[in-house]
Structure 1
Amino acid sequence: MKICRTQCPSERRNSHHRGKESSFWMHDPELIFNELDLKKGEVFLDFGCGTGDYSIHAAEKIGETGLVYAIDIKKELIDNLVQRTEKAGLENLIAIVSDAREQLPFEDKSIDLCLISTVLHTMNLEDAGKTIFTEIGRVLKPGGRLIIIECKKEDSKFGPPLSMRISPDEMEEYVYASDFEKSNIVDLGYNYMIKFVSMKDNSGVHG
């Protein structure tokens, strides 16, 4: 695992060139972050961060007293995120090269909110889902939030094939097995955002 400590305040971004590695500009970012309802000082995990657009925006929202972790398996994406954030100048973002299907490199009950945006359809949740959601449940604080953005399970001219897409009902089946409760679902047009709350107190849970 490689950990890169990075720096950053405000970077106005034009991410059209980042293409499939980010869904950030498919939606109104303010709509997304209004739903995330991040507070100053919170700890945010961008799970499968890609180009890190959500991470940078979250780092701006939570301020100097907060902390953002951005993880992705692709070293080149993490290296690029480090360069972008150093150029912008924040000190509350840590970018990590890590396989999200394995044990997460965080302490128990250390994260307020975990965002997974258009990542899970690329994984075999039948095999990896239990580990993924159990680990997220472990690192979330009691009452912590899990937010998932995914492509609607319907044919469209772009995005993953229909066979890879995960419906909200299917997603709930995977997530519920790890003691989460759905709190809301938001229609984003081509995508949906589903919000869960951890129902664990995490007592006696170890990584």
Structure 2
Amino acid sequence: MDRFQNTRQPDWDWWGQLWPTPGATLRRLGIKPETSLAEVPCGNGYFALPAARITDPGTVYALDLNEALLEELRTLTNQQGIENIVLIHGDARELTELLPELVDTVLMANTFHGIDDKEAFVQQAFESLHSDGRFVVVNWLDLPRETTTIAGEARGPPTDLRLSPTATESIVRNASDCRLVEQVDLPPYHYALVFTR
């Protein structure tokens, strides 16, 4: 399968400028101890690593199509002694087949804009959740790309791929039997929508 559009892994320096406290961000999004989480795609673990610390002893399933990023994440988990991350090589569009169990949360950060068939993915995400599970989508605001700068450079997806909160909610609601429970502002350039079954 082809990769999602415009979903390159940022380097750690500018990732850290954009999300200086990823653990605090995850807590704001309702990630809690003793729960399970699937991050799709996980990249090299910028969110998966702090998520594992929060959910411990709950499992974090870190799924990505890029084997090199998964290997980088494997090295980091070993270095940091994190034992509750399970790496899964595969495509997020086949999530229900790849996860060994239902999870409490499916997290998709910074990549929803690049999915070719968003409705099909949303269905996969909701079918992967426990009956009271949560689907969390973190998106870039629908601002012109030239206005979303980090370290003096325009960053994020092309302007025409960006989705407003209303557009994202509409896609998710049209593809699933869900309800929006919270919209979280994530300055300077992001928002999150939290859905539940």
| Counterparts of residues 70-149 of structure 1 (less than 5 Å) | 70-104=62-96, 105-107=98-100, 110-124=102-116, 128-149=117-138
Query: Residue 45 of structure 2 aligns with which residue?
Result: 52
**In the aligned structure 1, how far is the partner of 2:191 from the partner of 2:41?**
17
Aligned alpha-carbon RMSD (Å):
2.1
Cα deviation digits, residues 9-43 of structure 1 (max 9, x gap) = xxxxxxx84368xx565133244122233332210
Return structure 1 stretches of 4+ with deviation > 6 angstroms: none
Query: Residue 179 of structure 1 aligns with which residue?
Result: 177
CA contact (8 A) 1:107 1:139 kept: no
Query: Residue 4 of structure 2 aligns with which residue?
Result: none
Cα deviation digits, residues 151-192 of structure 1 (max 9, x gap) = 111112321111011111111111112112111111212111
**In the aligned structure 2, how far is the partner of 1:121 from the partner of 1:153?**
10
Unaligned 5+ residue runs, structure 2? 1-9, 148-153
CA contact (8 A) 2:185 2:192 kept: yes
**In the aligned structure 2, how far is the partner of 1:107 from the partner of 1:185?**
29
CA spacing shift, 1:19–1:97, aligned 2, 3 Å: farther
CA spacing shift, 1:184–1:97, aligned 2, 3 Å: same
Query: Residue 66 of structure 1 aligns with which residue?
Result: 58
2:33 is the counterpart of 1:40? yes
The range that moved more, 47-56 or 28-37, is 28-37
Structure 2 SS opposite 1:86: helix
Unaligned 5+ residue runs, structure 1? 1-15, 199-207
CA contact (8 A) 2:23 2:50 kept: no
Normalising by the residue count of structure 1, what TM-score does the alignment of the two structures yield?
0.78
**Residue-pair matches, total:** 177
One-letter amino acid of the structure 1 residue matched with residue 163 of structure 2: I
Query: Residue 197 of structure 1 aligns with which residue?
Result: 196
Structure 1 SS opposite 2:62: strand
